Amino acid sequence: MIASISLITYPRDELRWAFGRMGLDRPDLAKTPGLDFKRMVGTAKGRSFAWKPDLLRWGLVAGWASEAHLDAFLAESPIVQRWREHAAEVWTMRMVPVKSAGAWGGSNPFPAQPAPAGEGPYAVITRATLRLSKVRSFYAAVPAIDLDLERDDGLVASVGFGESPLGRQGTLSVWASEQAMKDFAYGTDAHRDAIRRRTREHWYSEELFARFRPTASEGTWAGRDPLAALLAPRP
């Protein structure tokens, strides 16, 4: 299998149309061949993990039976055609899950695959269903993590995302290397403290942690392809 994430950013005059497509695109997604997992998500503003919604940027997190199915979706789907007609930017990253634990919606959608040969960038997706009693505690930990992210030279790109305004939250971070990813995860005080508190205080009723090796990136996010310098162009 292969996973993908697409971020679609709309101009302000398309805000109402973009918001509506979050519901109206679901029937076309349900009919998409080879689409084994799909979540349409909203995103947070900027590169922050803090949940301050950006109503002009939306996302699709997906798992595919094969790369050929993803190719066909990007080339032929009416959903993607609408993205290109209405959006200011569309960015899609293909990625191979190399380590995954936990569940999203009751199962793990990203079973680990053999890692591509050689060195390369890494991506991390975290997703959790927050216990309502722990929402305040969780969000109080985010600003310090965001500050560490801003200072980290190994971070390529990051964004918070959510399936609902409150309670079902996730993050995407893209790193220049596996070592850069590990240095942040285990070498920064704020993130280490959040990991400890997550377990000790039982923040989540469900959680998923998945690492990926990006294999291709196309389009732009915030005016550029963040992986252009780290991945060879796709044939």
CATH of domain 2-219: 3.30.70.100
72: pLDDT strictly greater than 90: yes
Alpha carbons within 13 A on the beta-carbon side of 91: 18
Beta bridge partners, 101, equal 209
Q: Is 49 exposed, middle or buried (0-12, 13-18, 19+ CB in 10 A)?
A: buried
Determine the Cα–Cα distance for residues 44 and 168; give it in Å rounded to an integer: 13
Determine the Cα–Cα distance for residues 25 and 129; give it in Å rounded to an integer: 24
Determine the average pLDDT of the residues in 199-214: 89
- Name the pTM for this structure: 0.92
6: pLDDT strictly greater than 90: yes
- For the stretch 125-160, pLDDT in tens is 999 888 878 777 776 666 666 666 676 688 899 999
pLDDT of residue 81: 97
pLDDT of residue 123: 97
- For the stretch 169-201, pLDDT in tens is 888 999 999 999 888 877 776 677 677 777 787
3-state secondary structure of 83: helix
Residue 112 · residue 97 · CB < 8 Å:
yes
pLDDT confidence band for 117 (50 / 70 / 90): confident
Domains of the chain, by residue range, sit at 2-219
Determine the average pLDDT of the residues in 116-129: 92
Residue 103 · residue 119 · CB < 8 Å:
no
- For the stretch 24-51, pLDDT in tens is 999 999 999 999 999 999 998 877 666 6
Query: Which two structure tokens, joined as six digits, stand for 189?
Result: 């005080």
